[in-house]
Amino acid sequence: QTFQTWRNVNAEERANILVRAAAIIRRRKHEFSAWLVKEAGKPWKDADADTAEAIDFLEYYARQMIELKNGKEITSRVGEQNRYIYTPTGVCVTISPWNFALAIMAGTTIAPVVTGNTVLLKPASTTPVVAYKFVEILEEAGLPKGVVNFIPGSGAEVGDYLVDHPKTSLITFTGSRDVGVRLYERAAIVQEGQNHLKRVIVEMGGKDTVVVDSEADLDLAADSIVASAFGFSGQKCSAGSRAVIHQDVYDEVLDKVVTLTKELTVGEPNSREMYMGPVVDEKAYNKIMSYIDTGKEEGRLLAGGEGDSSKGFFIQPTVFADVDPKAKIMQEEIFGPVVALSKATDFNHAIEIANNTEYGLTGAVITKNRAHIEQAKQDFHVGNLYFNRNCTGAIVGYHPFGGFKMSGTDSKAGGPDYLALHMQAKTVSEMY
């Protein structure tokens, strides 16, 4: 019902609500970061970045809506005026993840809102509180009741109902591959009483690779591997859980990675000095420890490999070397602080290995060779490719984010094409 009124609110007012919400969160930034530390176990620096990204999404999408409010320019002719405008789609179901419990939840909620849609927000069942606090902020900023509807609960309990409902027009999901694929399939079914095809935006994860060339800054390479693998305990779809290293520099990079890894601190994230906190829950802990057991059979354990579930769920940052490119820990998304290292005979071989999974989200190449940079731009098949840096940490407006293959629909959150995915393009032609 609210969609019928909200769709007609002018774009400037919808955008202004986002700007006001961003201002409120900026004033209460550390409070929201503290909720992320408390509820998701995020180390302080990661929580701070999560909150900053939520603010960025609010302000960026507000500006983008102002740019799109009059549509795109098309050609008219004598006696005829033509316009190409965007109209809201309908009711959107947002199913958000726990790992960026504020940033991604906020971005996937306010993108449909600012484009004139109404939203059923189902946050991750492990992190509902920060989502609730965010909805409070939206209402404080002037969002009318009924535009965003807070629907906490397990996916098994309410997810299918929301996805299947004939009045659902748009579904935006961030999470695992298996759930995303299942959701995509269900959304394709036209239900009784449904007179439209549902749109689906899914981001489903990755098995991301840092490639180290023989012509590389090896200290930078080691730093990039460690930062990509162990930031927020590797609980990122963009985490670099694989490193493919040219055989000529393999041993040296390996030593540097192990040294850096052993310097990392793990514990309760109640101070800025703690690099890694716990993994999110017991289910995640057991899954990651199972992969570590597999890694001990598939590779050579050089660091970590231990967990402690006596007070929370803490896992030491873990490094496996000499892993076959087709091994399980090189192919499957672990979503924990585990990195597997493989050796490549040359740069072509390294890119071949980097492309050998079903995912295509992020990747990094560390090299000083300009020809290899140009080659990787064409041949490294990922949605977000970084050179001479880590493969995590996409910034709104700087690095539009989304992946190829089974990483999702490559919808590029935080980019110039994202809002249009939540609207319908309409051509209006009037004869004089």
State the CB neighbour count (10 A cutoff) for residue 308.
Answer: 14
Encoded tokens for 48: 């701070």
The catalytic position among 53, 59, 203, 333 is: 203
Q: Is 391 a catalytic residue?
A: no
Q: Residue 285 has which token pair?
A: 């802990």
Please give the Cα distance from 227 to 237 (Å, whole number). Answer: 14
CA 293, 297, 303, 308: dihedral to nearest 10 degrees?
A: 10
Secondary structure element (H or E) that encloses residue 366, with its range: strand 362-366
The question of whether 203 is a catalytic residue gets the answer yes
Counts of helices then strands in the chain (DSSP H, E): 14, 18
Choose, from 39, 237, 298, 333, the residue flagged as catalytic: 237
State the burial class of residue 274 (Cβ atoms within 10 Å of its Cβ: 0-12, 13-18, 19+): middle
- 262: nearest Cα among 216, 324, 211, 306: 306
Calpha distance 135→90 (Å, rounded): 19
Helix or strand or coil: residue 64? Answer: helix
Q: How many residues does the chain have?
A: 432
Active site residues: 203, 237
